[in-house]
Amino acid sequence: QHMSAALAATFKSRAVALLESLPQHQQLLLCAMVLRGRKSSGGGGCTLADLHASYKRLCSSQKLPALPVGEILPLCNNIAACGIFG
């Protein structure tokens, strides 16, 4: 067990470490972005209201209170600043 933990820590990717370091609401928002991206794979895009609706559903499924829509854009900016999208 100690060996597998050491190997996992050694070979953990930087991207995984970055995602794990995000606050919980940013992780949920990122999941909502991925889900919205899958739904609009035709390139139609996604509005902030659409993203917030997906995020609220994820929060509800995790029994967490969702942040108000006005707090979502700064979280999106934080996620983008982390370099997750390229």
Higher pLDDT, 21 or 14: 21
Tokens encoding 26? 């940013």
Mean pLDDT (the chain, rounded): 84
CA distances from 51 to 4, 17, 47 (A): 37, 24, 6
C-alpha span between 60 and 53 (Å, rounded): 11
- Give the model confidence (pLDDT) of 36-64 as tens digits: 877 766 666 788 999 999 999 999 999 99
Q: How far out from the chain centre does Cα 46 lie?
A: 15
Q: What is the mean pLDDT of residues 16-36?
A: 88
The answer to whether residue 31 scores a pLDDT higher than 80 is: yes
CA distances from 82 to 36, 71, 86 (A): 20, 17, 9
